Amino acid sequence: MSVLQNFIVFEGGDGSGTSTQLELLKRRFGKEDALSPPVIFTFEPTDGAVGRLLRAALRGEPRLHGETMTRLFSADRAEHLYGEGGIVEAAERGSLVICDRYTLSSRVYQGLECGDGLPAALNGGFPAPELLLFFDIDPRLALLRLETRTQKDVYESLDFQLRVRERYLGLLDSCRAEGSRVVVIDASAPIDAVAEAVWQNISLLPVMPRQRGSCIASSMKKAIN
Ligand code: TYD
């Protein structure tokens, strides 16, 4: 597995705050004033055709077998990486690409559902991110945060999330071995403190100018057709 420079991934259990922090980071980039590279914020499952099917399945309709889910997550990811205007193309031309969830989510969640073999085989050839931020939080607290949501995903039970956290923590060293820089962020800290920790790590990236600066935040095309 090769490392894709300029590619950053946020990972964490459900309710760990990755999506909120991605939004805050987007705003932070919008406020900084010197020049910095174009920044693309994106997420998995994507909002393309396969990603939409996955989101429906995550809500339980249609009900899909764990193996099918594993294959769909990797198909969604392949298009996200290599499709037109995809992650690889953008990062290689010098954009900073920041993605909410990636291969480690498959190794953790689908690994729990259908064993390590298939997620490892289907995701092993994808590039590793330059930087992986793991948002660590006690699943009890994380699930409390999600309580106000009306729609629950199939993975949002305490039992499952306790195992999710354990697996994440157990797999971080293998991400390091693949060449990613891995940082564990205390996601139970106040939201602003978490945002600051995220910014500290992002602003240290080689692609960032020495003087912090603004960037053009653009949305990534994720349509899969
Ligand atoms: P999440 O980012 O929590 O979406 P939202 O905040 O919109 O609900 O991701 C949705 C779920 O998808 C989450 O429970 C983890 C799961 N997931 C996998 O099981 N495997 C994967 O490969 C990915 C990318 C996500």
Residue 89's domain spans which residues? 3-224
> Are 25 and 152 a contacting pair, CB within 8 Å?
no
Ligand 1 site residues (CB inside 6 A) read 14, 19, 44-45, 58, 73, 100-101, 105-106, 109-110, 153, 155
Q: How far apart are the first and last CA of the chain?
A: 27
CATH code, domain with 218: 3.40.50.300
Query: Total structural domains in the chain?
Result: 1
What's CA 165's distance to the chain center, in Å?
15
Consecutive sets of 10 residues in the chain, 225 residues long: mean pLDDT of each?
96 97 94 80 98 97 96 98 97 97 98 97 98 98 92 92 98 98 98 98 91 43 33
Is 118 in contact with 111 (CB distance < 8 Å)? no
Taking alpha carbons only, the member of 159, 160, 184, 162 closest to residue 172 is 184
User: What is the reported pLDDT for 33?
Assistant: 54
In angstroms, the CA 58 to CA 48 distance is: 15
Ligand 1 center to 45 CA (angstroms): 6
Element spanning 184, H or E? strand 181-186
Q: Are 31 and 209 in contact (CB under 8 A)?
A: no
Please name the helix (run of DSSP H) or strand (run of DSSP E) that holds residue 218, with its range, or none. Answer: strand 217-219
pTM of the model: 0.92
Write the residue with the smallest CA distance to atom 13 of ligand 1: 14
pLDDT of residue 174: 98
